[in-house]
Amino acid sequence: MASRKEGSAAAASTVVSGKAKGKSGPGDSAVKQVQIDGNNHLSKTLQLLMDRVDEMSQDIVKYNT
């Protein structure tokens, strides 16, 4: 599961690095910040969902054996 977290962190750092390298124009900083915040929230939500699905899958295996 660490790789999933690393992937979302890499996506966020890509947005930040693009901003740091001067690829964004004036006024884009607010948009980039919203994308980072939204990406972080979605990443956490997805991680919680995936963890719950893993738990349910383990329960199914446990009860079927």
Measure the CA–CA gap between 49 and 55, rounded to whole angstroms. Answer: 10
pLDDT at 7: 52
Residue-number span of the structural domain to which 43 is assigned? 2-64
Structural domain count of the chain: 1
> Which DSSP state fits 21?
T
Angle at 48 between CA 50 and CA 11, to 5 degrees: 85
CA separation for the pair 23, 15 (Å, rounded): 10
The count of other CB atoms within 10 Å of the CB of residue 50 is 12
Note whether 44 and 36 are within 8 A (CB).
Answer: no
pTM of the model: 0.43
pLDDT digit string (tens) for 9-64? 555 444 444 445 555 566 667 666 666 667 788 889 999 999 999 999 999 999 99
